[in-house]
Amino acid sequence: MTTKFLLDIEKHVKQSVLLRIVETGGFCLPDFVKWGVNIWFAVNNIDHLEDTPTGQNTFHGTVIVLNQRAEDGEAVNQPLALPPKAPDASSQVGFEVKYCEQLVIKPKPV
């Protein structure tokens, strides 16, 4: 496989996810999630060898697990479908990311 081929696949996936986010109002849930059924999440941050002199050879990851009871119901959305060809620059979907200010916690003396 060539690098160009892999980058094209990446563009296909990226554009499909961005289209889903636009269609669903800001989220991209898997197609197996059902409407009207409670969802539980577990999130874990993984940091391996984070204190190294160069900052290299480290790993920082996040694992998110979504659990939902197996009940009948309508899926939130259809399976993610990749477009047959990579979009050109004029038809690519995108959106602006807005970061909130970091909260400052001011401890009060007891």
Give the model confidence (pLDDT) of 2-42 as tens digits: 777 777 788 888 888 888 888 777 777 777 788 788 888 89
Q: List Cβ<8 Å contacts ≥24 apart for 41-45.
A: 41/65, 41/66, 41/67, 42/67
Give the model confidence (pLDDT) of 48-91 as tens digits: 766 666 666 677 788 888 888 777 777 777 777 776 766 666 66
Q: What is the pTM of this model?
A: 0.47
Which residue ranges make up each domain of the chain?
1-28+77-110, 34-74
